Amino acid sequence: MKISKTLSGKMKDYPPFYQAVWKACAQIPKGQVRTYGWIAKKIGKPQAARAVGQALGRNPFAPAVPCHRVVGANGALTGYSAAGGVAKKRRMLLKEGALVR
């Protein structure tokens, strides 16, 4: 998924690291998942998986930036700050056709 110009413009109010994380997250196809580490590597910060999690926890652009598609290194559904938490994350992924544990 490509970030719209409007959304990209709104992101400019946030730190560059957050912008990079959110833009990488937006590239995760519907029905698929990636890890925090994958995003960290994608943005050139391979040691920053925890910081990626923090940036996604502050994502004001969901669902356009689909942070529910990001899972832990072992594939476990972890942290989802939106109302409904991990249970909601699971439902959203299943609705998209993703295989979840």
Contact in structure between 1 and 26 (CB atoms under 8 Å)? yes
Name the catalytic one among 33, 43, 48, 67: 67
Pairing of strands 34-35, 70-71: parallel
Residue 47, judged by CB atoms within 10 A of its CB (0-12, 13-18, 19+), counts as exposed
Catalytic residue check, 25: no
| C-alpha–C-alpha distance, residues 67 and 53, integer Å | 9
Catalytic (active-site) positions? 67
